[in-house]
Structure 1
Amino acid sequence: MTSVREPVDVVVAGGGIGGLSTAYALARSGRSVSVLERSPEFTEVGAGLQMAPNATRILKEWGLLDEVLQAGVVPRRLMFKDALDGSELTRLELDDAFVQRYGAPYVVIHRSDLLTILVRACERAGVELVPDTDVKDVVTDTDAAIVQSARGEYRGRIAVAADGLHSALRTRLSDDEPICSGYVAYRGTVPVADLGGEIGEEALHEVVVYLGPGCHLVQYPLRRGEIFNTVAVFKSPAYERGEQDWGGPDELDTVFAGACPQVRTGLGSLWRDRHWPMYDRLPIPSWIDGRLILTGDAAHPMLQYLAQGACQAIEDAHCLADELRREADLTDALKRYEAERTARTARVQTTARFWGDIWHVDGVARIMRNELFRERDQHSYKYMDWLYGEARPRGRPAT
């Protein structure tokens, strides 16, 4: 038997990082919020997250940055190396000048730790967290959004679709499907104490990215430097051949066989019993269907090359709360949110694809890329300001 609950201001479908960020941002501005999550618990699968200052600046404003810093690591630099010969290509110092320029630090944190921080923040803010509740549909009218689930109906002034890459609610706005890149990711974490002399002391204070032909490997510390995170990504030859079974551990070893010793050693830290095919979608111009709006991966799933998936979801949450707070007319507020965020995230999505292409070149293109990277002024922020800086001046409307 279904039931109808007391209405709230906002019902969020999806309790991942994007959904909880949205819920917290709205609750701290005084709105009543319910979050419906299909899983029995509010948990995240995976390992590390890179949180650039465009996100940590918002977490600071929300009063959550200290908790994030306590749970994570502030690396000293972001380093790019060649995966074949191990040579350094370029680096970005994440020092005081970087923090001063962007107003917050670059932080790496375990996904589950960030989710736990957001869950606790939502609880403190009075958000209703409802696990084991799969959203079936949303019905909207001029006054409300009715979110339908097996547990009953949840009514709000608006509904937020934060149900991820495979969002069922996105179908209300687009008939597109996730696009498989043909790349697959393997992840793994190992206690630093178990690594012995496999990595140097500097590696415990860096984010290192090894760029290779059709593959790359990323490493950085997590949980206050107690564990070491490794991610290996490669383009599957079996996928290219059109085979149904692709991306297995045998391909992982084959693709990375020609890599430098540091990279091949890193492969030993990976979980071999699971892997993650990499998908995104093309940008869409509309995120609003009546009182239903999209956010996070439901709105703009992106490849991971800019490490911006979670960061852009946090930006979404901040923007939505800001527009709803200072715009008296709800329809106008949602339209302003849509206009600002569709433009911003479309650029991030398309740039992430392009950046991935640059990472994975071979032959003459690899030689040219490496030379360009080595010639880069390491003190220049030319290519980061658009992404890490303010998306728009605070307190002023988007234009």
Structure 2
Amino acid sequence: MSGAVGGGPGRGPWDAIVCGAGVAGLATARALDLAGLRVLLLEKQRVPVPIAKGEVLQPSSVRILREWGVMPLLLRRGAVPLGQLMIRDADGRRLMLFDYRTMPGEDRQLFSLDYPEILAALRESLGERVECWPGALVEGLIRDGGRVSGVRVARQGRERELTAPLVVAADGRSSKLRRDAGIGTTSAEYGHRLLSFDIDGVPAAAPEVTTYLTGEGLRLAYPLPGARMRLYAQVRPDALRGTGPERQARLEGWCHELLAGTPALRPLEERLRASLGSRQLLNLWRFTADVLAVPGLALVGEAAHCVHPMAAQGMNTAIADAEALAACLTGRGFAAGASTATVDRALEAYAAQRVGWVRHMDRMSHDATRMITQLSRSGQAIGRRVLRRMDGNPRLRYQATYNMAGLGIRPFTALDRLHQLGLPDPRARRVPDWA
């Protein structure tokens, strides 16, 4: 297909236009492609920008990507299998273990891989029904009455109007399409930031995602291909202000304080200091869109929801969005050439199905973040107490791991919360009844 559509309101040659080619957009294109739909994938960047994000795949995503035929492509690129997420104190002593090897089903591992490599694997998996336009800037929505019917796009010096029965907003946290559709959010910025480092020459990294609790907050580490490690460190918003030599001096001083406050990371001192130039400073947000779909338009990924990266749920929830959207479309009989009424019924089902899951992931990620990133002495003491109590309670530990793996929604009850604080639990040694 040429993809050249005129400026009129007529229907284009695609069943869906997906706006954004991050993980959410690529996953949606793959899911719709497998459903037999013709997809146009638009991306404003001509070449993906390397960024430290979305590098850990939860078992729920591994299952989806395996079924889509993407996992072999990820493994070919060196995806690293990880069996557990461990929370440790600053000296490396265990506070709580999330052991994915105890989970049900075929997929009982995490995998870590660089974000650009995950994007490349998803792009490689796309079939002939997907047409990709890099360098296409989506400027806004087209409406037919009260329904979204397409998008206005600037590409190669031309403005075009592209139409399809379905438009998917996968254009990220500051989604232009979400705003243009009048869909609101209640955003909250976290009071800290994360510094990310790509550390090379670390061949003996443990096969786990490790979270260290320190007096200065979160330190999160996991291995990447090529004997490398990703390290995230919580910092105050003003920690590294300054320019030139002043900023470099602040960074060197901060690095010294990090190693002094996290003895478990001291063996990495030489490699960490050598990697200071790889740093990225990340702002952190939390929100869920007021609705996940309106007639003709679906939101997926960070256009629909944004969580703190501590619990590694953002990319994984986006992949689940894509699977659910495709399932709702095919379940309502949407095939190539189907009516817009069929699309809108499917979008209603998608929004109803996903809203509970998205809000669950938001609460779980926020609760975990609040526990791990506390800086007050009382908050840190309570957080460590809860983690140790849960670690000593196999029932609660299994339930927490199940939720973290994205396998289902099993929130803790008020009684469970009391057990986390120390109330004796007669069921502690049993796997939950629902498991």
TM range (shorter): 0.7 to 0.9
Following TM superposition, by how much is the alpha carbon of 1:101 offset from its aligned partner in structure 2, in angstroms?
Answer: 4.0
The structure with more radius of gyration: 2
Moved over 6 A (4+): 245-248
Distance 2:88 2:404 in 1: 22
**Paired position in structure 1 for 2:123:** 119
State the 1:383 CA deviation.
Answer: 1.3
Match of 1:169 in 2: 177
Partner of 1:186: 195
1:348 aligned partner: 361
Cα offset for 1:38?
Answer: 0.5
Amino acid at match of 1:72: A
Match of 1:262 among 261, 264, 273: 264
Q: Equivalent of 1:109, from 113, 117, 120?
A: 113
Quick one: distance in 1 between partners of 2:247 and 2:6? 45
Matches within 5 A, 1:18-167: 18-46=24-52, 49-70=55-76, 71-83=78-90, 85-95=91-101, 97-98=102-103, 100-101=104-105, 103-122=107-126, 124-141=127-144, 145-151=149-155, 152-167=160-175
The Cα RMSD (Å) is: 3.0
Number of residue pairs matched by the alignment: 376
Q: What is the rounded CA distance, in whole Å, between the counterparts of 1:389 and 1:47 in structure 2?
A: 18
- Name the structure, 1 or 2, with higher relative contact order (CA <8 Å, separation 6+): 1
After TM superposition, list the pairs within 5 Å mapping 1:388-399 onto structure 2: 388=405, 390-391=407-408
Q: Which moved more, 1:307-316 or 1:253-262?
A: 253-262
Indicate whether 1:227 and 2:227 are aligned: yes
Question: 1:206 aligned to 2:208?
Answer: yes
Shift of 1:89: 1.2
Structure 1: 5+ residue stretches without partners: 393-399
Larger deviation: 173-182 or 143-152? Answer: 173-182
1:335 match: secondary structure = helix
Secondary structure at 2:289 match in 1: coil
Alpha-carbon distance in 1 for matches of 2:318, 2:221: 23
Residue 75 to residue 278, structure 1, CA distance change in 2 (3 Å):
same
Change (3 A) 1:47 1:164: closer
Question: Equivalent residues in 2 for 1:336-375 (5 A)?
Answer: 336-361=349-374, 362-375=376-389
C-alpha contact 2:43 2:134 (8 A) present in aligned 1:
yes
Q: Distance in 2 between matches of 1:44 and 1:61?
A: 27
Cα distance change, pair 187–378 in 1 and its aligned pair in 2 (3 A): farther
Instruction: Name 1:305's counterpart in structure 2.
Output: 310
**Is the alpha carbon distance of 1:315 and 1:188 closer, same or farther for their aligned partners in structure 2, counting shifts above 3 Å?**
same
Residue identity over aligned pairs, in percent, reads 25
Change (3 A) 1:21 1:79: same
Unaligned stretches of 5+ in structure 2? 334-341, 410-435
- Distance in 1 (CA, whole Å) between partners of 2:364 and 2:256 is 29
> What is the distance in 2 between the residues matched to 1:287 and 1:150?
26
